[in-house]
């Protein structure tokens, strides 16, 4: 009886060691070298013209001071004071 218990414990420890060794082993150096390539490739394929920012850098016209100040103030105000909500029609036709 005692021998069976020790054998079962020994087999359990050996199985646990094998399972842990499988987790610690690296899958493949080739996979590790190519990690993330598909994401970078898909991102590059979604760009229509990668040189557009350098070629079209000056296309935005200048804004006068008043317009820039008011747009900045509206932007900041949108985060400090949320728009009023109507409890009866929350999310229906709101802007």
- Asked if residue 92 has pLDDT above 80, the reply is no
* CA gap 52, 25 in Å, rounded: 45
Residue 32 near residue 26 (C-beta atoms within 8 A): yes
pLDDT digits (tens, 9 = 90+) for 28-71: 777 778 888 999 999 888 888 878 778 777 666 677 889 889 98
What's the mean per-residue pLDDT of the chain? 78
Does pTM top 0.75 for this prediction? no
Percentage with pLDDT > 70 across the chain? 74
- Residue 61, token pair as written in the block: 């016209």
């Amino acid at each position: 009886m005692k021998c069976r218990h020790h054998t079962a414990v020994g087999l359990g420890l050996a199985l646990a060691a094998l399972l842990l060794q499988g987790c610690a082993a690296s899958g493949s150096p080739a996979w590790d070298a190519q990690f993330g390539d598909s994401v970078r490739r898909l991102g590059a394929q979604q760009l229509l013209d990668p040189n557009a920012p350098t070629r079209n850098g000056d296309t935005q016209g200048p804004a006068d001071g008043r317009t820039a100040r008011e747009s900045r103030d509206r932007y900041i105000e949108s985060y400090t004071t949320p728009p009023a909500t109507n409890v009866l029609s929350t999310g229906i036709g709101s802007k």
